[in-house]
Amino acid sequence: MVKDYFKLVTFSHTIFALPFAFLGYFLAVSQPSIPFQWQTLVLVVLCMIFARNAAMAFNRYIDRDIDGKNPRTAVREIPAGKIDEKSALGFVILNCVAFVVTTFFINQLCFFLSPIALLIVLGYSATKRFTFLCHFVLGLGLSLAPLGAYLAAGGGFDTVPMLYSVAVLLWVSGFDIIYALQDESFDKSLNLNSVPVKLGSVNSLKLSSFLHLICGLVILVASYVLGETYPAFGWMRWLAAVFFIGMLIYQHTLVTPTDLSKVDRAFFTTNGVASVVFGALMIGDLYL
């Protein structure tokens, strides 16, 4: 049963945003006025887990009928009968409550902002029913990670964490467009919205490339500003930026409009490695 819930929320995909949450936290505590606190770091990780569990489980719940009609997704836990609808909805509610309660123990600002965060991450699931911009709503949800962790540590709405949030928004939106190419025909048949449905596969890949180009530029700008405002960071931030941008370029060599066989590698493996290595190099820069 527990294994089914891990699959329901595709827990392994937490790897995308979690390193950026760590980065946001360590950015804040690199300042002399903000002390490192294990309790806060643990609470940040719990918030990431609870918010993502709620978002993914709600997505599976609200899309259960759609998933059942799509051969690619019919094996998912709800349409396959491994988890019933009421249990899935209960799991969503439980994680939403846990998220809000956890923010209460972080600080007042995070607690007051928690309903807005939930509205964004849960609201994504409904967007493909009325707008092709759904990918950007998903990106917005994950972009809360670095800024949210920065605020949790006691920082404010500062330039660098906001730049990394913008980078995450562009990055996630771009690779989600690639992932959505798999369902272009199916989405059209049910009048669902996505960039591939709106623009077609060729123009969708061009848009994804453009978003990742801007993402790379934002990462470089953030690296420059980081050196000006956070003296604890050194040369490794540039290595992290170059590696991340390299992985963005690499994933676009894996997928073409006529060959989607490597979408999973482009979507999960490449972006997972990019996020983890980038986060490790950035945090390592502080202590090495």
Angle between helices 159-180 and 195-229 (to 10 degrees): 160
pLDDT the model gives residue 150: 97
For range 154-175, the mean pLDDT: 95
Closest CA to 252 of 285, 286, 204: 204
- Sequence-ordered list of residues with C-beta below 8 angstroms from that of 147, at least 6 positions apart, any chain: 24, 157, 161, 162, 164, 165
Average pLDDT, the chain: 93
Angle CA(100)–CA(78)–CA(97) in degrees, nearest 5?
A: 10
pLDDT over 90 (residue 111): yes
Question: Quick one: pLDDT band at residue 276, thresholds 50, 70, 90?
Answer: very high
Query: What type of residue is 205?
Result: L
Q: How many helices (H) and strands (E) does the chain have?
A: 13, 0
Residues 1-49: pLDDT tens digits?
677 777 777 766 778 899 999 999 999 999 889 999 999 999 999 999 9
For range 63-87, the mean pLDDT: 92
Structure tokens belonging to residue 109: 């600002």
For range 193-207, the mean pLDDT: 97
As a whole-number percent, the residues of the chain with pLDDT over 90 amount to 81
Which domains does the chain possess? 2-287 (1.10.357.140)
Residues 187/197, Cβ–Cβ less than 8 Å: yes
pTM: 0.95
Q: Around Cβ 13, how many Cβ atoms within 10 Å?
A: 16
